[in-house]
Amino acid sequence: MTFTAKDVQALRQATGAGMMDSKKALQVTAGDMEAAKLWLREQGLAASAKRDDRDNTQGAVDIVVDGQVAAMVELKCETDFVASSDQFKREANELARAVAARGVDATSERSEQLDDLKLTLKENIELGRVVRIEAADGNVLDEYLHQQGGRGVNGVVVELAGGTAELAHDIAVHIAFARPAYLRREDVPADVVEAERRTLETITRNEGKPEQAMAKIVEGRLGGYFKTVALYDQPYAKDDKQTIAQLLGDAQIVEFAQVEIG
């Protein structure tokens, strides 16, 4: 009995097995689909489908910078043991290289490798967040990748205009630990600001503050909120006597991205 590429694909979809394993199963069973399913099950190669609903909150982040292009990829798995394995980290790096070279959609080129990795390592493995930043001519691109257990767990990429690579790197390190959600306070959506304002008003009123001082107290606390979520407002991690805006001087952050495991 012979089989076709469509048969291999159908077997993969039915069992969750990788392409090469599906092809081998059909070869071993002379193209008998049901026998191939049984063979995969007996070999422990059809179990990946059962893993799809398992939590995969671990993983690795990898960053590739090539000239004016930076790519950052999160590859997710279930345990830090698998995340720290050479095979897993190598795949994260290959994905980042593909994105740097050919764009975000290039991750689809490695779908078969991800399927095979899921079977080999016996965990729910999937692609997480993918970032690609292409800096304008004359701008500086730098990154920081915090390592844990031999794998990247907290990555940052920064594009800077009018600054140095050293400054861009310092900003990236700061972002990794300060975790800003926005670049400037003006970037915080109005509905988010209004919700925070209402919360602060409730807190201030529950504290028994006088009504005539309410507005001033709330505005002061709202300023504190911006220091936690807006990068330009944040005190610099290495010198909290100056803000990031003051540290930058005439330089400007064009774009930043952060990907953190979990």
Residue-wise DSSP of 30-67: TT-HHHHHHHHHHTT-S-HHHHTTS---EEEEEEEEET
Instruction: pLDDT band for 51, please (50, 70, 90 cuts).
Output: low
pLDDT of residue 1: 62
What's the whole-number mean pLDDT along residues 27-38?
A: 88
pTM, two decimal places = 0.79
Does residue 176 sit in helix, strand or coil? helix
Starting at the edge strand found earlier in the chain, the sheet holding 151-161 runs: 140-148, 151-161, 252-260
Alpha carbons 77 and 96: distance in angstroms, whole number: 17
Domains of the chain from N-terminus onward? 5-46 (1.10.8.10), 58-183+243-260 (3.30.479.20), 189-229 (1.10.286)
Confidence of residue 22 (pLDDT cuts 50, 70, 90): confident
pLDDT the model gives residue 54: 66
Structure tokens at 54: 């398992």
49 pLDDT more than 80? no
- Count of residues in the chain: 262
- 8 A C-beta contact, residue 260 and residue 181: no
What does the pLDDT read at residue 2?
78
Show Cβ contacts of residue 247 under 8 Å, excluding neighbours closer than 6 positions: 167, 170, 171, 236, 239
